Structure 1
Amino acid sequence: MRIALIEHSAGVGPAALEHWLGDHAVSWHSLHAGAPLPSLEDFELLLLLDGALSVHDERQHAWMAAEKRLIHQALMMRKRVFGSGLGALLLAEALGVRIAADPQAARIGWWQLEKDPQSRQSPVGRMLPQRLLALHWQREHCSLPHGAIGLYGSAAAALQGFVWQERAIGLLCQLEADAPSLDERLQHAAADLHLPGQVQDNASIRDGAPHAASANATLFRLLDYLSGAHAHMT
């Protein structure tokens, strides 16, 4: 499978996603935001990573409008799309959702995910674990896109994951986080820990690193499903 991956910020890379890509991609290339975007013919699966930006930052970052067009076109061409954090918000916006910016509502740290009751309506939802501890690094939130099925919620935010037509998945939390990437993010985004909202301290966030392995395994199951033949035929 040919995969295009877009990174949005320094310190927020693929993390554990690299292990899955090494096992499943025929070819994949990573693009930093602002670089020339791939054409629709270049990929079957588009991966959108998190980042320290807002979906409303098009004035400051002119490349964002072009990326939003690519996401919308990929959906219309029945490509598969996966978004994490900022990537999930960009996906939700492409599906018609208005993204809420609340300067008082940062959610940074580890919270337990609980499966959304709606998840039983989706084959991918039915195979997910009922509970899972996951890293949240959120400054914006969104509602469920029309036609999508909720996968997870948490005490930090009611919506933490969704699937749309079994070929597009968005996760507001970061299941790809691992210990090295967590250290890197804390180094690059130390100022985020002083934002107003539900924000854990540095030590508490580092203490959650042992939970990354189970979160990674769940992410890999989601991507296995998303990249399977059924997603192409839905």
Structure 2
Amino acid sequence: MRINVLQHTPNEGPGMIEDWANLHGHLMYTYHPYQFGTLPTAAETDMLVILGGPMSPNDELPWIAQERELIRVLLAKKTPIFGACYGAQQIVKALGYAVTKAPAKEVGWAPVYRQTALIPNLPTQLNVLHWHEEMFTVPDDATLLFSSDRVTNQGLVLNHQVVGLQFHFEPKANNVREMVVNDYPYIEGSVLGQNAADILATPVPDENQTTLFKILDYITAE
């Protein structure tokens, strides 16, 4: 399977998604549309991963609109799609739903709570990395997957094919360090009350990888 990854900033890479791809022998191609303006075609995409970034789906940039058109084509083809943070917002925006300011800016580690058993054997609560101040609307035909204490819409699942998460399961410890040392000014104003040292001192829970792998297995199951 060819997995095409859309990466939107140097410090938010695929992390454990790459580990999952390697485990299953899939080929992964990473695109940087914010820098090069290049996107894969739908015909060469067996699975699409849309990562986070500092931009908003509401920004009027040509490549952002082109990403959404790709998403719409892949949704129609029932191609598996996974979106993290901005990536989840892009999926929702492609479906015609709103991305708005969240009731609280969340940057740091905080729990999310499972809201459905649609994907089997996911933990009821996980400690995850948040890095956002916007949120998506859950489409009418999608199911709410996760919520946090401050932002209800933290995850969605659609048609056994698509999962979008407002937070980050994918970073490994090195990835977290990369995010913090490069984007530490963004931590200011977070309702979670953590500083850079607090975020760096928190270990990545092992169950985050296990849960991410279950989600990716679910959307790619035959």
Q: Which ranges in structure 2 are unaligned for 5 or more consecutive residues? A: none
Verify: 1:150 aligned to 2:144, yes or no. Answer: yes
Query: RMSD in angstroms over aligned alpha carbons?
Result: 1.6
Residues 128-171 of structure 1: CA distance to partner in whole angstroms, max 9, x if unpaired? 11111111111101221111111111113112111001100001
Partner of 1:105: 104
Q: Which ranges in structure 1 are unaligned for 5 or more consecutive residues? A: 230-234
CA contact (8 A) 2:104 2:150 kept: no
Partner of 1:24: 24
TM-score, normalised via structure 2 length: 0.93
SS at match of 1:38: coil
Equivalent of 1:217, from 199, 210, 213?
A: 210
Verify: 1:164 aligned to 2:158, yes or no. Answer: yes
Residues 66-110 of structure 1: CA distance to partner in whole angstroms, max 9, x if unpaired? 1111111110121111100110110111222111035x7321011
Structure 2 CA distance for aligned equivalents of residues 129 and 96 of structure 1: 30
Out of 131-140 and 34-43, give the one that drifted further.
34-43
Structure 1 CA distance for aligned equivalents of residues 9 and 53 of structure 2: 5
CA contact (8 A) 2:18 2:28 kept: no
Percent identity reads 28
Equivalent of 2:179, from 158, 164, 185?
A: 185
Structure 1 CA distance for aligned equivalents of residues 109 and 174 of structure 2: 16
Structure 2 CA distance for aligned equivalents of residues 26 and 175 of structure 1: 20
Please report how far the alpha carbon of residue 209 of structure 1 lies from its aligned counterpart in structure 2 after TM superposition: 2.3
1:71-110 mapped onto 2 (5 Å cutoff) = 71-101=71-101, 105-110=104-109
Partner of 1:12: 12
Partner of 1:207: 201
Please report how far the alpha carbon of residue 25 of structure 1 lies from its aligned counterpart in structure 2 after TM superposition: 4.4
Aligned pairs, number = 220
Structure 2 CA distance for aligned equivalents of residues 42 and 184 of structure 1: 30
CA contact (8 A) 2:101 2:135 kept: yes
Letter aligned with residue 5 of structure 2: L
SS at match of 1:108: strand
TM-score, normalised via structure 1 length: 0.88
Please report how far the alpha carbon of residue 26 of structure 1 lies from its aligned counterpart in structure 2 after TM superposition: 3.1
CA contact (8 A) 1:16 1:176 kept: yes
Please report how far the alpha carbon of residue 190 of structure 1 lies from its aligned counterpart in structure 2 after TM superposition: 1.2
SS at match of 1:64: helix
Structure 1 CA distance for aligned equivalents of residues 109 and 49 of structure 2: 23
Structure 2 CA distance for aligned equivalents of residues 8 and 51 of structure 1: 5
Consecutive aligned runs of 4 or more in structure 1 exceeding 6 Å deviation? none
Letter aligned with residue 187 of structure 2: L
Structure 1 CA distance for aligned equivalents of residues 56 and 164 of structure 2: 16
